[in-house]
Amino acid sequence: MILPEAATTPCRLDRLPEAATRADLEASYAARGAALVMCDSARRLAVDTLLAERALLDRWSEPPGRRPPWPLR
Amino acid sequence: MKPLDVFRTLTPPGWGVAAALALAAALALALALGQGLGLRWDPFGLAGRRLAAAQARAASAESDAAARRLEVEAAADQARRLDLHHQQAVSVAVATDRAETEARSADDASTPLDPARAARLREHDRRLCELAPAVCGAAPDDPARGGDDSVPARPVA
């Protein structure tokens, strides 16, 4: 199973520009929150991919007679 | 010549041939009768080996088909997960753009940030970037690495 690109992309830390204004601070605050949410989404994507891959291997390694009814979920 | 006279005229090798023919005929008859009764005579196990090979091929084909089904299902699940992530990205981008637009249109939007506060924030960011350079983007173009506290991250509106 291919790991999505989003799962391997580093999270992003938004930083203040030079001579920052209050608008910059507020925008940066919002951008950091957005980055956190997207980073968590990418983390969940990576974990789900890993768990799905493990489940796939578990199902594949089960003897045919013991395989759960199709489809599993 | 009577039929029994044939036996009287047989020489010992002739008797041997006759006995072998009789044995072969008896064997063939026994095989035919056995087949009719459902008996199988396979001293080398050829039929068993052919059956085992066919069963192995069938099992392999079934296994391959099951693997393909699993792969298709896994790919569909992964596509759903990716779709959810992309939807999340779009929603987050819309919300963040809206927040930034409102921030830029506020009355005090262009008021410079207190220098001491800005310095504290940049110092903290600089420390974070030292700890986790990957989250701070392209390091070579980052003046903060040269000891300067200015840390440009995005274009200033």
Query: How confident is the model over B127-140, as pLDDT tens digits?
Result: 999 999 999 985 44
Query: How confident is the model over B31-66, as pLDDT tens digits?
Result: 888 888 887 777 788 888 999 999 999 999 988 898
Give SS3 for B107.
coil
| Contacting residues for B34 by C-beta, under 8 A, at least 6 apart | B40, B41
- By C-alpha distance, the chain A residue nearest B143 is A18
CA distance A25 to B104: 10
Q: A20, B134: Cβ pair inside 8 Å?
A: no
Give the start-to-end residue ranges of the domains of chain A. Answer: 22-56
Q: How far is A26 from chain B (nearest CA, A)?
A: 6
> Which residues in chain A are contacts of B136 at CB distance < 8 A?
13, 15
Looking at chain B, list the stretches that DSSP marks H as alpha helix, in order from N- to C-terminal side: 3-9, 12-36, 46-104, 115-131
- Among B63, B10, B3, B69, smallest CA distance to A72 is for B69
CA distance A16 to B138: 16
Give the start-to-end residue ranges of the domains of chain B. Answer: 46-104
Q: Please give the pLDDT value at position B36.
A: 83
The pTM (predicted TM-score) of the whole model is: 0.63
CA distance B58 to B74: 24
- Among B135, B137, B125, B154, smallest CA distance to A27 is for B154
Return the bridge partners of B112, or none: A21
Q: Please give the pLDDT value at position B147.
A: 35
Q: Please give the pLDDT value at position B4.
A: 65
Q: Please give the pLDDT value at position B141.
A: 42
The pair of three-digit structure tokens given for residue B117, joined into one six-digit string: 């506060």
CA distance B134 to B6: 106
Q: Are the CB atoms for A50 and A59 separated by under 8 Å?
A: no
- Among B74, B135, B109, smallest CA distance to A57 is for B74
Q: How far is A24 from chain B (nearest CA, A)?
A: 7
CB nearest to B82's CB, from A4, A26, A28: A4
Return the bridge partners of A21, or none: B112
Query: How confident is the model over A3-51, as pLDDT tens digits?
Result: 788 888 899 999 999 999 999 999 999 999 999 999 999 999 999 999 9
